[in-house]
Structure 1
Amino acid sequence: MQKESGGAVAGKKKRRDQWSDIRDYLNTQTPEVLIELLLDTAKRDDRLHQSLLLKAQRVAGGTDVVKAFRRAIDQATRIKGFIDWRQSRNFAANLDQVVESLAELLTPDSAGMLIGLAEYGIERVESALEQIDDSNGEVGSIVQALGDLHLSACELAKPDPQALAERLFRLETTSPFGICSFSAVTYLDALGEEGLRRYRELAEVEWAKIKPRQSGDAYVYDSHRFHITSIMESLAKASGDVEELVAIKSRDLSMSYHYLTIAEIWVKAGQDDKALDWAERGLQAFPKATDNRLRDFLVAVYLQRKRNDEALQLTWVQFEERAFLEQYKKLSGVAKQLGVWPEQRERALAWVAEVIAAEAAVTNRWRPKPSIPNYSLRVEIALWEDDLDAAWAAAHAGICHQGLLIALADKLEPTRADDALALYKQVIPDIVNQTNNTAYADAVKLIRKIGGIMIAQNRNREFGDYLVELRVRFKPKRNFIKLLDGVGGR
């Protein structure tokens, strides 16, 4: 047997390398034949044609090189109508070929030429992107590559720093998408002191036109303001001047969160007193609906400085403003740290009861009568505290979110199986009545849970009867019945 096997292996022909065969063939051809082959292929392959044309123009030199590349950029970025995400792949492929050819200009002799071409290409693509669905990010990544080429070319060619600063500033403030960074910090090596100074001059002229915003001013997004502010912030960060950075941030105090950003700047600078002052100023400027991140910052500082009553009170403000589980957890954390959670918990649960009652009592033209109280928040809190008795009581005191009832049933399964069964049976009809295949699948999962519990208790016949009951009740829902048929019965 082994001999036959060895003979079979030895008899196999060695697989030929097709590329090696092609290479061997081409090595035997004259240059004229090879040229004809390449030209013939280029006539059928637009990318190869474009690549060969740009290489030829570059070798020929002169102003035709710039014209050829600009023409190639125009062709690659020309669009008619909207391009969806499927078509954007072809757009990206054509653009990528041009960028690959541009990369060949990154040499000491042609880097200066590349600078202008890269700028032209970036502006063309950014303009085209307004009509392209680039969900997969392919076009954007090519633009970034073009931006990297531009930066490298500037560092290599060392163009006139003032002229470069002016072009960079224009690009940074006018690019629709801002995919590439043209900030002074990014181009610091290429700009040098002279270029950086000119860049700052241009920025400060525009910055002087930006009007301050205070609390009470309506926030309206302004792209020009955003760009100039970003430029000024980057310049301040580069210089390490904290006072300047704070002054820039202070130009817009229309949101409480902006006070927090300034406070965090001072914390990073080791100026904790100034940080606290700015945070408290933000709280005073926005006494209602303050950003909770600012409040959390203050709570942490107050606890650190043993201003415990203020820390607890500020946490209570958040909970009273929005009685959610996350705020309850936050209150619990602060109160436990202060050793006062038992009494604070009692107060918090009393507040939850008030909120539930108040919401149920609301009437209007669409709800002329008070509604059944919704105890979802109380159940949610009890589940977080692992208080199953309280959760069970709350779940039966009024209505409750379906997902919370299922979560409670899951927790009850190990020790209170009958209660878990009751909750599962309660929610299954509502799920099935959603009348969609996803809901049907969810319902069947719960039915299987019921089956598991009952079979473990030797209640197989009861489970079978339950399945029959479901089939009768939901007979018109054929897709559900098909799924139900796959569930084991008696």
Structure 2
Amino acid sequence: MDSLPATVASALVEADSESLDWPARRQTLTAVSVELQSLLVTDPGPELVALIENVVTQLAGGAAGTRRHRVELAELAHQVLGIHARACAETRPDPVRLADWLLDLQLEHPDAPDVGLAAYAGALDDEGLAHYRDRAVALFAPLPVIGFGQTGRYDRARWALLRVMEELAEYTGDVDLQLLVLTKDLSSGWHYLQVATVLRDSGRSGEALQWVHRGLRAVGGRGAALRLIDLAVEEHLRHGDAGEAVAVCREAFLTRPSLEVYLKLRALVVHTDDWPPLRAELVEHLVRDGGRLAVEVYRRVVEVELARGGAEEQDVVVGWLRQLRGLQPDAFAEYLDHIRSRHAADRDLLDELGRHGF
């Protein structure tokens, strides 16, 4: 038993060297793993646990120190770690010491095999898991937040801690741990959406909406804005607050006009008395905004309204066309010809356009 660490050390010497017989060395390391499994049956106890920990650490260090055989050594380390979990289940070592060893293995060897806490559930028990959690959180919490638009700098230490925290959050099902992990990276609107979605799914609607609004302020109408708006609208409607849902969409449209947001607003209020004045406000905003973006929004809205058909929609189209003619007088005639040719069979529409000078 005592000779196994020396055997591992010898097999790991200059693992990257082409002049050494790696297949033979790999076979030696595999034989060590087999021997440890046999000892688990014939000689279990604290000494075996300590021996296995020594071998796992050697293999993890070997994987980090070689490029040529990293994958094979990582797989061997994973196998031996599985033996360690079974040995701990039988021996029940000190849970706090075990928690420290598992955490140190991952932090000191970021390329070490992933530690699955479920395999150590019995050995860690509540005391060990609480110690593991407290120490991991104490190390992770001070890490700086990656702000919106920044590039994440995941050095080996941060990456190792992130992996530890993600596994811990998944194993415990602790939403606060999951949120602690997610809120360390707010480099894009999609990260804000992740946070808001987790909060929504855990029944914390108020906090979810707070994160939605933070995300909308950060993205400025780009990226994940539409998904954030969708989440906000769903939550407000679920709570019977249609007015807040409209307010979210209105603010988003005024920040960055888009057809998608216009359609959300239309769907929310088109059958109410609020729609005509709100539509007028949106039109006025586009007129003030001007520019290419406004023209594109106008054209897409006109196409949507034309597709709906009906007398009311025709009146709306006429209003939009008036505004569009003022924004883009040089190109308006060509655009109007395009509309007439696409809807040549709609005599009512063509007559309505003619009555209004189109």
Indicate the TM-score class for this superposition, using the shorter chain for normalisation.
Answer: 0.5 to 0.7
* Distance in 2, Cα, partners of 1:289 & 1:82: 51
Distance change in 2, residues 1:240/1:99 (3 Å): closer
Matched position secondary structure for 2:138: helix
Distance change in 2, residues 1:132/1:122 (3 Å): farther
Which structure ranks higher in relative contact order (CA pairs < 8 Å, sequence separation ≥ 6)? 2
Q: What's 1:116 paired with?
A: 50
Same amino acid, percent of matched pairs: 24
Q: Give the aligned residue type for 2:133.
A: R
Residues 1:99 and 2:27 aligned together = no
* Distance in 2, Cα, partners of 1:254 & 1:180: 26
Higher mean C-alpha deviation, range 219-228 or range 163-172: 219-228
* Distance in 2, Cα, partners of 1:100 & 1:341: 74
Q: What's 1:412 paired with?
A: none
Q: Give the aligned residue type for 1:110.
A: P
**Deviations 1:412-450, CA, capped at 9 Å, x for gaps:** xxxxxxxxxxxxxxxxxxxxxxxxxxxxxxxxxxxxxxx
| Runs of at least 5 residues in structure 1 that lack an aligned partner in the other structure | 1-64, 318-334, 344-490
Alpha-carbon contact 2:39-2:48 (below 8 Å) kept: yes
Distance change in 2, residues 1:234/1:128 (3 Å): closer
* Distance in 2, Cα, partners of 1:162 & 1:257: 38
Alpha-carbon contact 1:184-1:199 (below 8 Å) kept: no
Which of the two has higher C-alpha Rg? Answer: 1
Deviation at 1:111? 4.1
Residues 1:152 and 2:89 aligned together = no
Q: What's 1:313 paired with?
A: 258
* Distance in 2, Cα, partners of 1:186 & 1:277: 38
Deviation at 1:171? 0.6
* Distance in 2, Cα, partners of 1:251 & 1:176: 19
Matched position secondary structure for 1:221: coil
TM-score by length of 2: 0.58
Residues 1:224 and 2:157 aligned together = yes
**Deviations 1:93-115, CA, capped at 9 Å, x for gaps:** 33212111111111373243332
* Distance in 2, Cα, partners of 1:83 & 1:266: 53
Residues 1:75 and 2:34 aligned together = no
Q: Give the aligned residue type for 2:49.
A: I
* Distance in 1, Cα, partners of 2:227 & 2:57: 42
- Corresponding residue to 2:76 among 136, 142, 149: 142
| Runs of at least 5 residues in structure 2 that lack an aligned partner in the other structure | 238-244, 263-299, 309-358
- Corresponding residue to 1:207 among 128, 136, 140: 140
Deviation at 1:77? 2.0
**Deviations 1:184-234, CA, capped at 9 Å, x for gaps:** 554222111221222233223323432344335552113222333443444
Alpha-carbon contact 1:79-1:128 (below 8 Å) kept: no
**Deviations 1:388-418, CA, capped at 9 Å, x for gaps:** xxxxxxxxxxxxxxxxxxxxxxxxxxxxxxx
Corresponding residue pairs, total = 254
Q: Give the aligned residue type for 1:275.
A: A
Q: Give the aligned residue type for 1:152.
A: R
Distance change in 2, residues 1:94/1:340 (3 Å): farther
Distance change in 2, residues 1:111/1:257 (3 Å): farther
Alpha-carbon contact 1:115-1:154 (below 8 Å) kept: yes
Alpha-carbon contact 1:88-1:139 (below 8 Å) kept: no
Deviation at 1:276? 4.4
Which structure is higher in helix share? 2
Q: Give the aligned residue type for 1:79.
A: E
1:403-482 aligned within 5 A: none
